[in-house]
Amino acid sequence: MSRTQRKLKVGLLLNPMAGLGGPAALKGSDDKQLVAEAMALGYTSHVGDRVFTALNGLAERLQGLEVLTAPGSMGETVCERLQQSVPAFSFQVTGNVQSPTSADDTRRMARLLQSEGVDLLLFAGGDGTARDIVDVAEVGQVVLGIPCGVKMHSGVFANNPESVTRILKEMIDGELVTVMEGEVRDIDEASFREGVVRTRHYGEMWVPEELRYIQQVKAGGKEVEALVVDEIAAWVIENMEDDETWFIGSGSTPAAIMAQLGLPNTLLGVDVIRGRKLVQPDAREDQLFSIAQAEPCRMLITVIGGQGHIFGRGNQQFSSRVIQAVGADRIQVIATKSKLAALPGKRLLVDTGDQALDEQLAGFMRVTTGFDDSVLCPVQ
């Protein structure tokens, strides 16, 4: 029996003061006093209009979004406007904010939206807003900025609202969207007003690239495929902590990791490594569960070619209780782009035998596809 694809879950968050300082020649809008000065001069922010442009461009595809947003001008108002344009569009308001809103509201709402398990945290503002988001961004959370500020030097913004529309269309339609680390930078506004440009690095966040994944896939022979598998293995190993415990799943791609580590591998089983050494070959389900209960672990799995299953086919040692003991956020999926491109519907499938867990795993999952290269892939 087929299951309905879960909607793309988006957390929408606006900085309603973003961009005010531009037309007023104030070189930014992070300073509350200058924001008040700009408003006194009759200037208003156009952040709502730009968010409306980005989302209204989806037209009927808006029904493919499950939108959670903040009250009032931080999201609710523009969603009500969208609902007038597309009556079938629905959204949910959560949390509470102050009036006027502040950076604390942004950080608090960003935390709340992430706690709801959003696939994408979509925010509207400038570099100051990006700084607030990166302060509370969870590891692995995918974000995207709608450019609305005065200063936008960070690499977490789309080119324009129309670019946001295209990215969301691809994600709603189940396309595989490449994700990359985008840098968050900001200019010191006081220095900027004196004609001095001083930028500072504040961190990185994961953002979707505005390139259709499928266009990047090249048809290649086994030699090219083998090279990519080696690159995936090298990236995984480079990012392993020295004392980490890993459950290495079955398949030829995980086997490449074991080969690079110089360890024997159970091709059709699960091996346990700790500190990059083999501690339990061909582990049983009960052994995995016992280890996962006793210590933090990570799980590495690949995709069954031609089907798309990541759980429930050939790796039943990863039972629902083992998966839950490890934690969904500690599962790493690896696969080549050519394998993903050949999947029916370009979707990953889960069949753990636990419907509630299957629903928890559904949505979008990041898949490592090369050295420092990954894509977002729909899971159902």
- Going by pLDDT thresholds of 50, 70 and 90, the confidence category of residue 116 is very high
Q: How confident is the model at residue 254 (pLDDT cuts 50, 70, 90)?
A: very high
- The residues of the chain that CATH labels 3.40.50.10330 are 8-215
Q: What backbone phi and psi angles, to 5 degrees, belong to 210? A: -90, 60
- What DSSP character marks residue 174? T
Exposure of 310 by Cβ count < 10 A (0-12 exposed, 13-18 middle, 19+ buried)? buried
The pLDDT score that the predictor gives to residue 216 is: 30
pLDDT value, residue 215: 26
Residue 279 reports pLDDT greater than 90: yes
Close Cβ partners of 100 (under 8 Å, ≥ 6 residues apart) = 17, 32
pTM reported for the whole predicted model: 0.74
> Given a cut of 70, is residue 41 above it in pLDDT?
no
Binned at pLDDT 50, 70 and 90, residue 120 comes out as very high
Extract long-range pairs of 359-363: CB within 8 Å, 24+ residues apart.
359/6, 360/328, 361/311, 361/323, 361/328, 362/3, 362/5, 362/6, 363/6, 363/8, 363/9, 363/117, 363/119
Percent of the chain scoring above 70 in pLDDT: 84
- Residue 319 tokens read as 């039972």
Beta strands in the chain (DSSP E): 8-14, 65-69, 91-93, 120-125, 143-147, 177-187, 199-212, 245-248, 271-274, 277-280, 297-302, 309-311, 331-334, 349-350, 363-370, 373-379
Mean pLDDT of the chain: 84
Q: Is 176's pLDDT higher than 70?
A: yes
CA-based radius of gyration for the chain: 23
Amino acid present at 171: M
Neighbours of 192 (CB within 10 A): 17
Q: What is the pLDDT of residues 301-340, one digit of tens each?
A: 999 887 888 998 888 889 999 999 999 989 999 999 888 8
Tell me how many degrees the CA angle 85-23-135 measures, rounded to the nearest 5.
75
Least confident residue range of 147-156, 172-181, 223-232, 322-331: 147-156
Is residue 145 within 8 A of residue 210, CB to CB? The reply is no
Q: Say if CB 145 and CB 163 are below 8 A apart.
A: no
Residue 35 has pLDDT above 80, yes or no: no
Count Cα neighbours of 76 within 13 Å in the Cβ-side half-sphere. Answer: 11
Read off the pLDDT of residues 49-90 as tens digits, 9 standing for 90 and up: 999 999 999 988 888 899 999 999 999 999 999 999 999 899
What pLDDT does 31 receive?
54
Cα 101 from Cα 21, distance rounded (Å): 16
pLDDT beyond 80 at 194: no
Cα 152 to Cα 128, 147, 364: the distances in Å are 9, 7, 27
The CATH architecture one would assign to domain 8-215 is 3-Layer(aba) Sandwich (3.40)
Residue with tokens 């994600």: 171
Is residue 361 within 8 A of residue 379, CB to CB? The reply is yes
* The two three-digit tokens of residue 87, written as one number: 């009556």
How many whole angstroms separate alpha carbon 186 and alpha carbon 130? 9
Distance in angstroms (rounded) separating the CA atoms of residues 330 and 153? 32
Give the C-alpha separation, 76 to 51, whole Å: 12
Is 43 a residue whose pLDDT tops 70? Answer: no
What is the percent of the chain with per-residue pLDDT over 90, rounded to a whole number? 46
Give pLDDT, residue 255: 92
- Residue-level pLDDT at 5: 63
Greater confidence (314 vs 199) lies with: 314
pLDDT given at position 44: 63
The pLDDT value given to residue 175: 79
| Region 239-259 average pLDDT | 92
pLDDT bucket at 34, cuts 50 / 70 / 90: low
Q: Write down the pLDDT at residue 198.
A: 60
Non-local CB neighbours of 107 within 8 Å, separated by 6+ positions: 132, 133, 135, 136
The pLDDT tens digits for 341-370 are 888 777 898 988 888 998 888 888 889 998
Locus of tokens 């189940």: 174
| pLDDT of 16 over the 80 cut | yes
pLDDT at 257 exceeding the cut of 90:
yes
Higher pLDDT, 262 or 36: 262
Question: Residue 121: phi, psi to the nearest 5?
Answer: -100, 105
**Sheet of strand 143-147: strand arrangement:** 91-93, 65-69, 8-14, 120-125, 143-147
Token representation of residue 304: 């069954």
Residue tagged 């990059």 (tokens): 276
pLDDT band at 289 (very low <50, low <70, confident <90, very high): very high
Check: CB of residue 139 under 8 Å from CB of residue 338: no
**pLDDT computed for residue 69 by the predictor:** 96
pLDDT of 211 strictly over 60 = no
Q: Going by CATH, does the domain composed of 218-379 fall within 3.40.50?
A: yes
Average confidence (pLDDT) over 22-46: 54
